[in-house]
Amino acid sequence: MRWLNTTSWRYLIAAVPMLLTSCGDAGDASGAAIRPETNYFSLTDYFDREAERLQQINPEITKTVAKSGDSESKNIRVTDWKGEFALFTDADINKPAWQNSYRIDSTASSVKYTATDPTLRTKEILVEKSDDGTITHIRITNQVDNMLYHTDEQLDYYTDSLYRIDKKQRVRVIGESHYTISGRFISGYPDTP
């Protein structure tokens, strides 16, 4: 063991605890533990809980897709609510780099987050609550503007009532398009037929 000098032993002794702690089960770490604390409402947490709740009750909805004036509606039961809410969770602003990038305005019944950096995609999030603190409505406004295209999105979620995605896009070579996707809850709740 002559080849292993004193300095090498020090490095080995320091490295072993790091190796042992880094080999733990990744499934044990919660997302909240590694996410820095912010003052922002977590869209990801909220819509993950809503997706889980709606998977359990399996409500029937009337889903309507409209593109540039043509629309089609169908009564369905959504099999993947997490996927259905993907655009909502993609707008989450709880990122370390954005910690001070939104102005917060609040009243007794609402909280509004407004981007202070014009380069951010999510421009505004409005969370409205009832008197008992239950969330009744979330509105998200997204915008992307670059040399190739301009996109405006408005996403609305009215708890147990309606969700809607309204997107307008102007692509330099192709032109304008407008589409809306909405889901209106029609059954699956104790107080609805």
Residue 15 lies in a domain: no
Q: What is the DSSP string of the chain?
A: -TTS-HHHHHHHHHHHHHHHHHTS-GGGS-HHHHSPP-SS--HHHHHHHHHHHHHHH--EEEEEEEETTEEEEEEEE-S-HHHHTHHHHHT----GGGTTSEEEEE-SSEEEEEESSTT-SEEEEEEEE-TTS-EEEEEEEEEEE-SSEEEEEEEEEETTTEEEEEEEEEETTTEEEEEEEEEEEEESSTT--
Residue 132 lies in a domain: yes
Residue 7 lies in a domain: no
What pLDDT, in 10s, does the model give residues 70-103? 999 999 999 999 999 999 999 999 888 888 899 9
Provide the whole-model pTM: 0.75
Q: What is the mean pLDDT of the chain?
A: 80
Domain count for the chain: 1
pLDDT in tens, the chain (193 residues): 443 344 333 333 333 333 333 333 333 322 232 244 567 889 999 999 999 999 999 999 999 999 988 999 999 999 999 999 999 999 999 888 888 899 999 999 999 999 999 999 999 999 999 999 899 999 999 999 888 889 999 999 999 899 999 999 988 888 889 999 999 999 654 443 3
Q: Domain residues for 138?
A: 38-187
